[in-house]
Amino acid sequence: MIDLLLPFHYEFFVRGVIVSVLLGGICGLAGVYIILRGLSYVGHGLSHAAFGGAIVGSIAGLNYYVGAIVWSYLASFVIYEISKRNKIKPDAAIGLVTTAIFAFGVLLVSITNRYTRNFESLLFGNILAITEQDLYIIVSVTILSGAFFFFLHKRLVFSFFDNESAKISGIKTSHIELLFSFVLATIIIVSMSSIGVTLLASVIVGPAISARMLSNNFSSVIFLSIIIGSVASFCGMYASFFLDSSSGPTIVMFITLAFGITALYAVFKKIYHSHSHGGVSHSHPHLHTDEHRHEHQHKHP
């Protein structure tokens, strides 16, 4: 008989579970605002910039976190300036700037021949190698990032949803957007060594689009995205122990599974749903024909 509590006997696994739940939740929260802004590519882009910065910092003799922070923040600022001053869409600027930083880091590795397993763990994640110091950093970033989204929620939504009206109302949308980019970059940096650069975009965007399929209410989408991100990350981490698989890819598979389930739910919800009119409730399948006719099955209470 399998001991379902066996993984929790190991301190490294408990640490990994805490980290996965925290990162799944905060990435899910940030992902909602990214989807609202229409910049799904930004998480993927900034994670590549962070990886390039980590390599540059490491080769320069610095902690790779320092290099990742400096270059990610620099990338965020350059992207903002390019899209603001040259009327270039942000996604185009993200693609150019972040890929250039990533390529620069890889170029340095090829020149110096200093490729190590640390960089490999940044690419694919190694959540079980999280130290107690890493845990404290992740907890701190999660709390501070959560506070940022909580206190600036209305300004963020107003700025992203209706930028021109927000400016007229006196909100400094440019400052809000830049600050959001810095917070997102920080979340990506602390998630990088746990989830991995190549997998991080799914953890950020996946819960948000899954939640969007379940609700049209923005507050509900935020709540659902946090829950989906945390639960899927926990399940992926837990399953990886028994499957003897890498935790990062397993977490992404569970997030993808969550998306698949919510996508099916959304399809069935459109095909078959119920209404109530006065004292009569009825349900009908939607048949999308030229006449868009409904077949009604009445139920009288």
- Does 298 reside within a domain? no
Contact, 229 vs 27, CB < 8 A? Answer: yes
- Does 283 reside within a domain? no
- Does 137 reside within a domain? yes
* Nearest one of 41, 13, 43, 8 to 229, comparing CA atoms: 43
- 290 by DSSP, 3-state: which? coil
- Does 293 reside within a domain? no
Query: What's the whole-model pTM score?
Result: 0.83
Q: What is the pLDDT of residue 274?
A: 52
- Does 139 reside within a domain? yes
pLDDT 10s digits, 35-65: 888 777 787 788 888 888 888 888 887 777 8
- Does 193 reside within a domain? yes
- Does 79 reside within a domain? yes
- Does 287 reside within a domain? no
Range of the domain at 38: 10-273
> With the CA atoms of 25, 30, 31 and 32 taken in that order, what torsion angle do they form, in degrees rounded to the nearest 10?
100
Residue 19, domain CATH? 1.10.3470.10
pLDDT 10s digits, 204-258: 999 999 999 998 899 999 999 999 999 999 999 999 989 888 888 899 999 999 9
Blockwise average pLDDT, block size 10, the chain, 301 residues: 80 91 95 85 83 83 83 87 74 83 83 65 77 90 95 88 78 85 91 83 92 91 96 94 88 94 88 56 49 48 48
DSSP H or E run through 126: none
Query: How many domains does the chain fold into?
Result: 1
First to last CA, the chain: 50
